[in-house]
Amino acid sequence: MRRTQKVTAVVSLVIILVLAAALGLFLWTEERKERDGQKAQETIAEGGQEAAGETDGEAGEDSVPPDSSEGALGEISEEEPENLEEEQEMLENQEPEITDVTMMFTGDVMLGSSVLANYDSAGLDGILSEYLQTELQQADLTVINEEFPFSSRGTPMPDKTYTFRVDKSYLSVFQEMGVDVVSLANNHALDYGTDALLDTFDALDEAGIPYAGAGADKERAEEAIFFERGGRTIGVLAASRVIPVVEWNIENQQPGLFCTYDSTALEAAIERTRSQCDYLIVYVHWGIERQDYPEEYQRTLAEAYIDAGADLVVGSHPHVPQGIEYYNGKPIVYSLGNFIFNPNMVKTYALKVLWSAEGEARLMVIPVETANALTADLTGDVKREMIDYIESISFDVTIDENGMVTPAP
């Protein structure tokens, strides 16, 4: 019994000592905090620069009296905006990096029933070979002629042999192809009247695909579309010299098409645009269907466009290929024929332009053929034969086995 009482007394003593030690530690800690707090307040009150410098990152502008123009905080708050402005100015004045640019051009595209049936069943693989898909999608700029309106409204133009219209849900075809801009300046854009043309504008805007050569008013129809590529600016203008009735001309009705039955209006647009870009493309609808050589007026107009400032003239409408010519060192491609159109089409070509960082633009032809509504690139002997044919209908150019075009010296 005595032993038990002795143990209990010892345990109680230990507990009392532990509690006393804990209380002492607590009181010492609180006293230390109080002393440190007083010291900090005294330092701030005395304006100690060391303390101010240490707390500047958290204190901000409120730590300095409004009229203060001295001290570490005041200097930092004034220098930061100046440094940011200088950095922004440096970025704005920095020259963009100039790199090579690849551009792809195709002729007429019309999404007919056979083409859409292939697309519905097999997607883009049903209407374009893998090689052509890659070329179009990977190009820095892809330009095509849209030979129809995107709409479900309107009535077909009377007494017109062929009238085309495609539901806007098939804009996915253009998006998957990688199309960057379309020309609407052709003889089918108003097949279903102005309502269908206005629907086309809206559909293309919604899809984020710019259009050239047509507009709700004259200013828009004659407007160039600009792209920033490889540190430089590319401009695209489009116009047509083939319309079924004069009312389609933007000069006679609005909405309408930018027309070039003479070169005056398009020359003026080229001259306005020239100073706004580094490379200017004119895409024009002209010529006679199924004719292998350009009309003399095509050559005359093309020369006028180049004299006005165009760097490249590309043509469509004949539905067959026409040749290539250089004028004052600038290329003219008279007709790219059809690209996506009928189920079966004669051989033609797409155009690839390789614009180097040094400013040289070289042409490359890509021979193609359509069979069963599938447009595919040609290979082997058939490709070589088509290249030889394109060279034979061209003017003073040579085309090697890879399709690279060289003007005669």
What 8-state DSSP symbol labels residue 155? -
How do beta strands 374-377 and 361-371 pair?
Answer: antiparallel
pLDDT at 77: 44
Q: Which of 315, 164, 181 is nearest to 244 (CA)?
A: 164
Cβ contact 363:281 at 8 Å? no
- Displacement of CA 293 from its chain's centroid (Å): 33
The answer to whether the CB of 202 falls within 8 A of the CB of 229 is: no
All structural domains of the chain = 2-93 (no CATH), 101-407 (3.60.21.10)
Where does residue 279 rank: exposed (0-12), middle (13-18), buried (19+ CB within 10 A)?
A: buried
User: pLDDT tens track of the chain, all 409 residues?
Assistant: 444 445 455 445 556 565 655 565 555 555 555 555 554 444 444 444 444 344 343 333 333 333 443 333 344 444 454 577 776 776 666 778 999 999 999 999 999 999 999 999 999 999 999 999 999 999 999 999 999 999 999 999 999 999 999 999 999 999 999 999 999 999 999 999 999 999 999 999 999 999 999 999 999 999 999 999 999 999 999 999 999 999 999 999 999 999 999 999 999 999 999 999 999 999 999 999 999 999 999 999 999 999 999 999 999 999 999 999 999 999 999 999 999 999 999 999 999 999 999 999 999 999 999 999 999 999 999 999 999 999 999 999 999 999 999 998 8
**What does the pLDDT read at residue 97?**
94
Per-residue pLDDT at 393 = 98
Write out the two tokens for 104. Answer: 């792809």
